[in-house]
Chain A
Amino acid sequence: MNPLRKLPICGAQLTSRLFSAFAKPHPAFVAFITAGDGDTAANLDALVEGGADVIELGMPFTDPMADGPAIQAANLRSLGAGTTTADVLQIAYDFRARHPDVPLVLMGYANPMIRRGPEWFAKAAKGAGVDGVICVDIPPEEDDALGPALRNAGIAPIRLATPTTDAARLPSVLKGSQGFVYYVSVAGITGKQQAAQASIEEAVAALKAQTDLPIAVGFGVRTPDQASAIAKVADGVVVGSALVEIVGEFGKDAPAKLIEYTSALADAVHSAR
């Protein structure tokens, strides 16, 4: 069966799920893992059980240029296991059926997303119950490649702002962005060095001055202590590499470990303020 053609539209409250996640009385914990790396359904359930407010599901790509070793390895494990775009969408669809209220965001690179055309991808993602899409290598300058198709389908294109995004450029980044803004706290790749707390506070304040969208901060966030400090100023905290490493290290036994570590992270974020 090719699930790409058969998925009925699942769930009516698409971007409102993202809205609700950030409207809770506490900051949101956003958890990332790579689709098709290990038993993704079980691992996703573990993230939800551990208290994740938003799920970021990585679409594997052969050339993940913005990712550090941990997520690169996860991409290769997933592709090595034969994961296709159809599989990623099926994982999303099944997740949506099990968790009607947990927002799900796809994160990945342009080429797999636009391979069959942006409209095809937007429609398929919508059909699978996806709420938002983060495409690493489509900046505002190339928005036409995917943005209009996502917005037309009712999927939030979530843009990235970075330490190199200056004040003059920020409005063009925010324009057309929906759901939340993902602040990349370090100029670098995922999972490596961590940013200074002061620089994060300054950047979040600058973003908040220009947008009402929630601000989630990620890249280089690994521990509950870091997550807690960031959650004092941001609306959400994203952790990826640390979770993906658990998946890589523990394989079939990953869900129990994920519940444990996600709980620690989620508690730290939720109780930060």
Chain B
Amino acid sequence: MNKQPNSFRTQPDDRGHFGEFGGRYVAETLMPLILDLEREYRAAQQDPAFAAEFDDLMKHYVGRPSPLYHAERLTEALGGAQVWFKRDELNHTGAHKINNCIGQILLAIRMGKTRIIAETGAGQHGVATATVCARFGLPCVIYMGAEDVKRQSPNVFRMKLLGAEVVPVTSGGATLKDAMNEGLRDWVANVHDTFYIIGTAAGPHPYPELVRNFQSVIGTEARAQMLDRVGRLPDLLVACIGGGSNALGLFHPFLDDADVKMLGVEAAGHGLDGDEHAASLLGGSPGVLHGNKTYLLQDEDGQITEGHSISAGLDYPGIGPEHAWLKESGRVEYTAVTDKEALDGFQLLCRTEGIIPALEPSHAIAAVAERAKQMGEDEIILMNLCGRGDKDIFTVAEKLGVEM
């Protein structure tokens, strides 16, 4: 595109806009809270004690820094670029989601809030939220689409073990977007004491910015680790995208490294040519939902359509507004991978590296497999392996026709 800014790392503006995207499209009841949250977040950003507590928990509770791993057998199997993984699946709770939850619960405590709510799709964010609530002794309500409750029963049990109340949401399509609607309804009715821990880099400003910043620990570590291990930056970053927080976490610290290309991988479900996908950027159009302007799956009247993906964590009909802006600015390339390709990627990684990935990053693996072959052996791909696959083995078994 033609309007390249001097830096890609200075968004959003003071109104929370990433170009034309983002913003604060919320009911008036929530508006004062959103402004309050922004004030409190700015103060926390200036407070060395806040950063110190975050860093300490990252190190001793989450287990950071996560390793940077050279996947040599996978590289050999693909025959092309060297594939490296940022191992965020090794975090406590098994995914990148915990990074953001630690940051937000520290904000909640700072603001004097005594009750936590969250929405969850695959259950990873719900588990991460329930985990930090247990750690800090705050009551926790998780809204989860009734369909997802069925698809992700191990995570539902985990949340309950951790002391969270899991509320199955039956309205609409009973998936992630409906859980988010219900979360917003709870929040608007309990504004005085409740903090809403949004799980991805979406929602009203300042959520997209603060989630991105908490998740940027991924890219900040990876950048330093890469320089330390191979003495240079990678040629291509790859990450899967549902709402887009793990991808932004990896990409953001590299955005001004002009030689580093970036590829975001959406869920193509049964294929982009039909309606059965969750690719908001490639198959959607701009609109307003859940507090921000971004790319959405919607019909010609602006009614939101249901996403589909084999991965419950990717089938959200929207995407973080910063991705919408990065797409339009041309800085990041976006592609999509089908359910079947993701399943192939899942099995490939199991067999070549002894790592069972979540279905979400399996989409990224499929894209890596395709790109690596087109690149030289001296080139480096760095992929965020953002979650582990224990939660998905039942889904995968079913798709592979295996009875357990």
Report A's interface with B, CB cutoff 8 A. Answer: 61-66, 68, 72, 76, 79, 84-85, 109-115, 136-139, 141-142, 145, 159-166, 169, 173, 184, 186-189, 192
Q: A111-B289, A159-B28, A160-B27 are in contact. List 18 more A-B contacts (CB 8 A).
A: A62-B304, A62-B305, A63-B178, A63-B181, A66-B29, A84-B301, A85-B301, A111-B298, A111-B303, A111-B304, A114-B287, A114-B302, A141-B15, A161-B28, A166-B32, A169-B31, A188-B29, A188-B185
Min CB distance B239 to A, Å, is 27
Is A65's CB under 8 angstroms from B15's CB? no
Is B29's CB under 8 angstroms from A141's CB? no
Is A141's CB under 8 angstroms from B24's CB? yes
Tally of B interface residues using CB under 8 Å? 38
Cα separation A66 to B27 with both chains bound (whole Å): 7
Secondary structure at chain A's binding surface: helix, strand, loop or mixed?
loop
Of the candidates A61, A63, A142, A189, which one forms a contact with B189 in the assembled complex, judged by CB atoms under 8 Å apart?
A189
Of the candidates B29, B298, B300, which one forms a contact with A163 in the assembled complex, judged by CB atoms under 8 Å apart?
B29
6 residue pairs A–B, Cβ–Cβ below 8 Å: A65-B184, A111-B289, A115-B301, A115-B302, A187-B188, A189-B189
The yes or no answer to B19 lying at the interface (CB within 8 A) is no
Is A164's CB under 8 angstroms from B32's CB? yes
Q: Given A164-B33, A166-B32, does the pair A189, B185 have CB atoms closer than 8 Å?
A: yes
Give the top 5 A-B pairs by smallest Cβ distance, nearest first: A115-B302, A188-B189, A112-B302, A111-B302, A110-B288
List B contacts of A110 (CB < 8 A).
Answer: 25, 288
Cα separation A163 to B30 with both chains bound (whole Å): 10
- Give B302's nearest chain A residue, CB to CB: A115
The yes or no answer to B171 lying at the interface (CB within 8 A) is yes
Is B29's CB under 8 angstroms from A162's CB? yes
CB within 8 Å: A-B pair count: 119
The yes or no answer to B161 lying at the interface (CB within 8 A) is no
Cα separation A111 to B296 with both chains bound (whole Å): 10
Is A136's CB under 8 angstroms from B188's CB? no
Cα separation A112 to B288 with both chains bound (whole Å): 9
Is B28's CB under 8 angstroms from A162's CB? yes
Q: Given A111-B288, A187-B189, does the pair A63, B29 have CB atoms closer than 8 Å?
A: no
With most chain A CB atoms within 10 A of its CB, the pick from B15, B29, B303 is B29
Of the candidates B27, B35, B305, which one forms a contact with A137 in the assembled complex, judged by CB atoms under 8 Å apart?
B27
Min CB distance A258 to B, Å, is 25
Cα separation A20 to B287 with both chains bound (whole Å): 36
Is B28's CB under 8 angstroms from A160's CB? yes
- Give A66's nearest chain B residue, CB to CB: B27
- Give B32's nearest chain A residue, CB to CB: A164
Is A184's CB under 8 angstroms from B28's CB? yes
